[in-house]
Amino acid sequence: MSTVNEKITSEIREKVRELLASGHVAAFLGYTSGSVPMVMQPLIIRTPEDADRLEWNSFCVLNLANYLPALLKSFEPPRRPGDPPPEGPLPKVGVLATGCWSRNMVIQVQENQVDRDRVVVVGISSRGMVDRKKVLAAVGHRDVTAVYEYDHSLKVSGPGYEREINRWDVVRDNCRTCVHPDPVIFDHMIGDLKGERDVADRFRQVEDIEVLAPEDRWSWFSTEIASCIRCYACRNACPLCYCPTCFVDDSRPQWVGKSIDKADTAIFHILRAYHCAGRCTDCGSCESACPMGIKMRILTRKLQKDVLELYGAEAGMDMQSPPPLSTYKMDDPQDFILTESIKGEEK
Ligand code: SF4
Ligand code: SF4
Ligand code: SF4
Cα–ligand 2 centroid distance for 113 (angstroms): 16
- Do 267 and 170 have their domain in common? no
Ligand number nearest to the C-alpha of 234: 3
Nearest CA to ligand 3 atom 1: 290
Q: Domain end: 138, 161, 190, which one?
A: 190
d(Cα 113, Cα 71) in Å, to the nearest integer? 11
Q: How far is the CA of 24 from the centre of ligand 3 (A)?
A: 39
Of all residues in the chain, the percent with pLDDT exceeding 70 is: 97
Lining ligand 2 with CB less than 6 A are 63, 104, 237-238, 240, 276, 280-286, 297, 300
Q: Which of 160, 190, 220 is the last residue of a domain?
A: 190
Rounded Cα distance, 256 and 156, in Å:
43
- Which residue range(s) make up the domain with 236? 204-319
Average pLDDT, the chain: 93
In a domain, residue 176? The reply is yes
Q: How far is the CA of 150 from the centre of ligand 3 (A)?
A: 32
Measure CA 172 to chain center.
Answer: 12
Same domain, 29 and 173: yes
Give residue 241 CA to ligand 1 midpoint distance, Å: 5
Mean pLDDT, residues 269-288 taken together: 96
Which residue, among 260, 254, 196, 200, has the nearest Cα to 232 in the 3D structure?
260
Distance of CA 262 from the midpoint of ligand 3 (Å): 13
Of 50-59, 84-93, 95-104, 162-171, least confident by mean pLDDT is: 84-93
How many H-runs (helices) and E-runs (strands) does the chain carry?
12, 8
State the average pLDDT over residues 17-31.
98
Considering only CA atoms, which of 35, 55, 34, 58 is closest in space to residue 45? 55
Reduced to 3 states (helix: H, G, I; strand: E, B; else coil), residue 290 is: coil
Indicate if ligand 1 lies below 6 Å from the C-beta of 199.
no
Same domain, 266 and 125: no
- Which residue, 322, 316, 276, is CA-closest to 300? 276
Q: Do 27 and 106 belong together in one domain?
A: yes
Mean pLDDT of 118-122: 98
User: In the predicted model, is pLDDT for residue 336 greater than 80?
Assistant: no
Q: Answer whether residue 125 is part of any domain.
A: yes
Buried residues in 18-41 as b, exposed as e (16+ CB within 10 A) = ebbeeeebbbbbbbbeeeebbebe
Nearest-ligand number for the alpha carbon of 296: 3
Per-residue pLDDT for 151 more than 50? Answer: yes
Work out which ligand 2 atom sits closest to the CA atom of 281.
5
Do 66 and 56 touch, CB atoms closer than 8 A? no
Indicate the residue type of 143.
D
Q: Look up the pTM and report it.
A: 0.92
Report the amino acid identity of residue 52: D
**Does 328 map to a domain?**
no
Report cis status (omega within 30 of 0) of the bond before 253: yes
Structural contact between residues 299 and 265, judged by C-beta atoms closer than 8 angstroms: no
Question: Mutate which of 67, 280, 302 to test ligand 2's pocket (most atoms within 8 Å of Cβ)?
Answer: 280
The span from the CA of 282 to the CA of 169, in Å, is 19
Residues 169 and 263 both lie in one domain: no
- Both 171 and 234 in one domain: the answer is no
Q: Residue with the nearest Cα to atom 5 of ligand 1?
A: 241
Residue 225 CA, ligand 3 centroid: distance in Å: 8
Domain match, 102 and 235 both: no
The verdict on whether omega for the bond into residue 78 sits within 30 degrees of 0, i.e. cis, is no
- Looking at the structure, do residues 161 and 22 belong to the same domain, yes or no? yes
Same domain for 175 and 218? no
Domain boundary residue, one of 190, 219, 235? 190
CA distance 273 to 211: 20
Q: Give the SS3 label for residue 107.
A: helix
Find out whether the beta carbon of 272 lies less than 6 Å from any atom of ligand 1.
Answer: yes
How far does the centroid of ligand 2 lie from the alpha carbon of residue 280, in Å? 5
pLDDT-derived band at 85, boundaries 50, 70, 90: confident
What is the pLDDT, as a whole number, of residue 346?
47
Q: Does a structural domain hold residue 339?
A: no
- Under 8 Å between Cβ of 97 and 64: yes
Q: Which residue CA neighbors atom 7 of ligand 1 most closely?
A: 241
- In this structure, the answer to whether residues 229 and 285 fall within a common structural domain is yes
Radius of gyration of the chain from its Cα atoms, rounded to whole angstroms: 21
Residues 20 and 120 occupy one common structural domain:
yes
Q: What is the spatial distance between Cα 58 and Cα 149, in angstroms, rounded to a whole number?
A: 8
pLDDT of residue 183: 98
In a domain, 181, yes or no: yes
Q: Are 83 and 64 in contact (CB under 8 A)?
A: no
Q: How many residues make up the chain in this entry?
A: 347
145 Cβ contact partners less than 8 Å away, ≥ 6 residues apart: 37, 157, 158, 159
How many independent structural domains does the chain possess?
A: 2
**Same-domain status, 39 and 160:** yes
Helices (DSSP H) in 181-213: which residue ranges?
204-210
User: Mind giving me the DSSP string for 205-247?
Assistant: HHHHHHTS-HHHHHHHHHHHHTT-----HHHHT-TT---SS-T
Q: What is the pLDDT of residues 162-213, one digit of tens each?
A: 999 999 999 999 999 999 999 999 999 999 999 999 999 999 999 999 999 9
Ligand 1: centre distance to CA 280 (Å) = 12
Give the pLDDT score at 269: 97
Residue 282 within any structural domain of the chain = yes
Q: Which tens digits make up the pLDDT trace of 36-61?
A: 999 999 999 999 999 999 999 999 99
**332: pLDDT strictly greater than 70:** yes
199 lies in some domain: no
Is position 65 within any domain? yes
pLDDT at 293 over 50: yes
